[in-house]
DNA sequence: TTGACATATTCCCATATAGGAATATAGTTC
DNA sequence: GAACTATATTCCTATATGGGAATATGTCAA
């Protein structure tokens, strides 16, 4: 089975660095495709394709205005990513976490060096 | 050019849902491969492969203990993802943002309906 | 050494890109 | 309708999967 489609969810969509840059560019406000083209300096078809993926997963919203297509970020779709990453926040925030982990590890290590006959080897 | 390797960076590595679940499983503490196998109920080679990717991007750290391989989360690698997503926090946190956006849009719209001859058509 | 247990690796394959080039489509204006 | 502008789509191709099955490697125990 191949990798999941980039349009499966926001996690897959933002895996591509260029797509994140497109979102960054739109972060300040609505902008026509050409605005992004000029800002990033990439070929227009490339911008359009990435916008297509972003639109399909709902990360951006498009509205027409004459011959222009105005795109804007639909930030709410990024919340699941934020929430998930936040779950691991303690790993970089609290120095305590590192201490806790080390303690846990040495405890386990000790249990191996001097196993308790009554509890050892009982996993499942 | 194909999609970037999953081992390019954490963003690509966590795009795969199963890899996120492995990280979630390890979130509570160090665990041997079999522990993950029993917890998730997936084939052992599958777990090992995903762990391989996670290890290569530095999202997990492994240490041997006898015949067991103990894995633990290296959460710091997730901070870039958290930080990036946080950049868009206002999109789902503040109701104000939505108002601001709408204001901006209607302003632009008005500018189109009744363009100011002195400023219009000057993009670049 | 011979097992037995814990993990990792190799093979195979259908699938989904991402970029480049060329072209098509939609909306405006004359 | 023709010319132009702004975007989207199509074609083509090299490449990197992810899962399943089978197998190899590594480590401890008797």
DSSP string, A18-41: HHHHHHHHHTTS-EEHHHHHHHH-
From B15, B81, B84, residue closest to A12, measured CB to CB: B15
- Per CB-CB distance under 8 Å, the chain B contacts of A76 are 91-92
pLDDT in tens, A46-62: 999 999 999 999 999 99
> pTM for this one?
0.86
Total Cβ atoms within 10 A of residue B21: 15
Tens digit of pLDDT at every position of chain A (124 positions): 889 999 999 999 999 999 999 999 999 999 999 999 999 999 999 999 999 999 999 999 999 999 999 999 999 999 999 999 999 999 999 876 667 677 766 766 565 555 443 333 333 2
Distance CA A61, CA A51 (A): 9
> Burial of A101 by CB count in 10 Å (0-12 exposed, 13-18 middle, 19+ buried)?
middle
* d(CA B79, C1' D19) / Å: 30
Q: Which of residues 24-63 of B touch A (CB under 8 A)?
A: 24, 27, 29-30, 34-35, 38
> DSSP class of residue B64?
E
Q: What is the full per-residue pLDDT of chain B (124 aa) written as tens digits?
A: 889 999 999 999 999 999 999 999 999 999 999 999 999 999 999 999 999 999 999 999 999 999 999 999 999 999 999 999 999 999 998 876 667 667 766 766 565 555 444 333 333 2
Distance from CA of A116 to the nearest CA of B (A): 17
Q: Rounded to an integer, what distance in angstroms lies between the CA atom of residue A117 and that of residue B13?
A: 41
């Amino acid at each position: 089975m191949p990798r999941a489609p980039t349009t499966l969810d926001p996690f897959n969509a933002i895996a591509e660095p260029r797509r994140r840059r497109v979102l960054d560019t739109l972060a300040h406000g609505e902008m026509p495709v050409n605005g992004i083209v000029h800002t990033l300096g990439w070929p227009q078809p490339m911008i359009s394709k990435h916008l297509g993926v972003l639109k399909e997963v709902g990360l951006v919203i498009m509205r027409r205005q004459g011959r222009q297509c105005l795109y804007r970020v639909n930030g709410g779709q990024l919340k699941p990513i934020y929430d998930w990453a936040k779950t691991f926040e303690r790993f970089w925030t609290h120095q305590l976490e590192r201490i806790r982990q080390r303690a846990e590890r040495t405890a386990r290590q000790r249990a191996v060096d001097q196993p308790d006959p009554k509890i050892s080897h009982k996993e499942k």
